[in-house]
Structure 1
Amino acid sequence: MQERLIHPNEKNYFIIALVISLLIYFWLVSTIIGIFYILLLAFISFCLHGIWLGRIRSNGVKLTTQQFPSVYSKVELLCQRMNINTVPDIFVIQSDGMLNAFATRLLGRNFVVLYSDIFELIDSESEEELEFIIAHELAHIQRRHVANHLLLLPAMWLPFLGKAYSRACEYTCDRLAAYYTGNLEASINGLTLLAIGKALYKKVNRGEYILQSRNEKGFFIWFSHILSTHPPLPLRILELERLAQYLASYKDSSKVDTITVEAQQ
C-alpha cells in the first residue's frame, strides 16, 4: 500500500538527482583537490548543523513518557504503524507565532522539531491536526529524505531540480501522514491551518481557497512555485482531497483502524 502513496515525481527526480550527484562525486574524487573540497564542505556543514541542533536540544522541551506523555504515546504508535524502529527525539521550541515543524538528523539520530504555536493544538479540539503534522515529519524519516540529503547534495544545488524533488517529497509525506493517521479530514485541516492559523482554519471555504489558487496566475506566481521547496498549500490540499476514495479503496486494517473520508469536495 505504501508504494502506491509515493508521489511518482519523487521517484523520477530521485533517480535523476542520484545519477547527477554520483557523477559529480566521481569527478571530484578523481582529483586530490576535489577530495579536499568534499571533506572540507562536509566538515563545515556537519559543524554548523551540529551547533544549530545543539541550541534546539539545549533549549527545547523534549517529549518523553514523563513530558507530555499523551502526545509521546501517539508518536510511539505512529512509529509502530510506520515501521520506524527507533522513536526519534521530539523537541518543542518557542516560535514567536510561526507555524512550522521539521525533521532532521545528526550522527545517526533522527529528530522532529515542533514549533510551540503548532504544539499548542494539544490544548484545543485539534489534536488530530497535530497528529497529522507529526506524522508528516515522521514520513520524511521513514522515506529517508533527511538521510539521503548528503548523497544527493550536489544535485540539490542545481537550479530547479533540488526544489522539484523536495516538492515531490512533500506530496508523498502528506499522503503517508493522511494514511497512517487514518483521518483525511484532519489531515486537510492540518494543511489549512498552516495557511491561515489555528483560530480561523475551520472557517475557511476550502473550495473557494482551491479555486483562488487556480485563478491566481502569472509569471511570478509560477516562478515562486518552481523556486520553492514546498508546493502551494491549496495544491497540497487538493492532492489529499483526491485521495479520499483511493484511501477508502485500499485501506489496510492491519496498520490503520479507520480511514475517515468525509473530506469536503
Structure 2
Amino acid sequence: MKKIIFQGLLLIVLFFSTWFVLQQINWVTILRIKQTTEKTEEKLDELLWETIKTTEDENTNQLVLKSVDSLITKICNYNDIERSKIKFNVINKNEINAFAMPNGRLVIYSGLITASEKQEELAGVLCHEIAHIQLNHVMKKLIKEIGLSTLISITTGTKGSELIKETAKVLSSTSFDRGLEKEADIKAVEYLTKAEINPEHFAHFLYKINESESEIMKYLTWISTHPDSKKRAEYIIDHSKNNKVKNVPVLKDETWNKLKELVENQ
C-alpha cells in the first residue's frame, strides 16, 4: 500500500515538475521565430531566383526537365520526401555545378549533366543537394554568413538588390562547413541506397573530377565549393560498402543519352 502511495506521489511530483518547466518556455516567441524564418525562406527563394534567372539562360526543354524530374521524383518517393517541396531549374552553363537554395529549390547547371557519364552520378549530386535542403543546411549557412536580421531586411525590401546578388553568390560559389558537407554526403548515401541507386557511382564521380585535367578545372565549381573530394569519395565508399544495392536505372539508356545530347547542344 505504501509503495502504491509513494508511486502516486512521485507521478504527481513529476507531472507538476514537467508542467513548471514547460511554463518557462516562451512558446509564442519560438513559434513566431519559426514562422518568420519560414516566410523569410519563401521570400528569399523568390527574390534569389528572380535575380539568377535575369542573368542566366534557363533550360526549358521538356525532355531535359522531365528527365531530371524523374530522377528527383524517385529519390523523393523512396525516401519519404514530399516531392512538391523540392523544386528545380536547369541553367545552360558549362560549369559543373548544382546548389541548393532556400525553400527547397535546386539549381542545376547543364555542365554537371554533361560531366556525368552515368545517370547515377548525377543522382548522387542531386541527393547531396537534397540532403542540404532536408537537413536545413541552406538557412543555417545563410544565417551564419549573412545574419537572420539582414535576411529579413532583404525580404522586407529594406536592403537593395546588390545584397540579393551577394546572397545568391554565397549559395552558388561558397562551401558549407565540413561537418555539414559530411552530413549531406552520408544522408545522400542513405537516399541513394533506398532509391536502389548504387552510391559507388557518386564516389566514382568525385574521384573522376578530382583527377580532371587542369584546363577544365575552371568549370569545376561544384568541387571548389565541396573540397576534399577524394577523401569524401573514400568515406562514401566506406559508408556504403555494407549496403547491398540492386542498381535500378531511372532513365532508359536512350533517354539518358538524349538528355546529354540536348544539354551539350544548348
Q: TM-score, normalised by structure 1?
A: 0.51
Matched AA of 1:239: Y
Contact 2:75–2:191 (CA<8 Å) still a contact in 1? no
Q: What is the CA–CA distance in structure 2 between the aligned matches of 1:154 and 1:70, rounded to whole Å?
A: 35
Question: RMSD in angstroms over aligned alpha carbons?
Answer: 4.3
Distance 1:174 1:235, change over 3 A: farther
Give percent identity, aligned residues only: 21
Q: What secondary structure does 2:89 align onto?
A: strand
Aligned partner (choices 202, 211, 223) of residue 187 of structure 1: 202
| Other-structure match for 2:14 | none
Q: What is the CA–CA distance in structure 2 between the aligned matches of 1:119 and 1:60, rounded to whole Å?
A: 15
Unmatched segments (≥5 aa) in structure 1:
1-25, 30-38, 199-227, 259-265
How much has 1:113 moved relative to structure 2?
0.8
Contact 1:145–1:169 (CA<8 Å) still a contact in 2? no
Matched AA of 1:111: R
Distance 1:138 1:66, change over 3 A: same
How much has 1:175 moved relative to structure 2?
2.5
| Other-structure match for 1:89 | 87
Distance 1:137 1:147, change over 3 A: same
Q: What secondary structure does 1:99 align onto?
A: coil
Offset from partner CA, 1:98-154 (integer Å, 9 cap, x none): 211111114xxx1111111112257xx52221121112212222323225556xx35
Matched AA of 1:143: L
Larger Rg: 2
Aligned partner (choices 115, 122, 126) of residue 130 of structure 1: 122
Distance 1:243 1:148, change over 3 A: same
- Across the two proteins, how many residue pairs are aligned to each other? 177
Q: What is the CA–CA distance in structure 2 between the aligned matches of 1:98 and 1:142, rounded to whole Å?
A: 25
Q: What is the CA–CA distance in structure 2 between the aligned matches of 1:71 and 1:63, rounded to whole Å?
A: 12
Q: What is the CA–CA distance in structure 1 between the aligned matches of 2:121 and 2:132, rounded to whole Å?
A: 17
1:115 corresponds to 2:129: no
How much has 1:171 moved relative to structure 2?
3.2
Contact 1:188–1:240 (CA<8 Å) still a contact in 2? yes
Q: TM-score, normalised by structure 2?
A: 0.51
Distance 1:247 1:92, change over 3 A: same
| Other-structure match for 1:236 | 232
Matched AA of 1:176: E
- Greater share of helix: 2
| Other-structure match for 1:175 | 189
Offset from partner CA, 1:159-190 (integer Å, 9 cap, x none): xxx72433333433443344245213311122
Distance 1:63 1:119, change over 3 A: farther
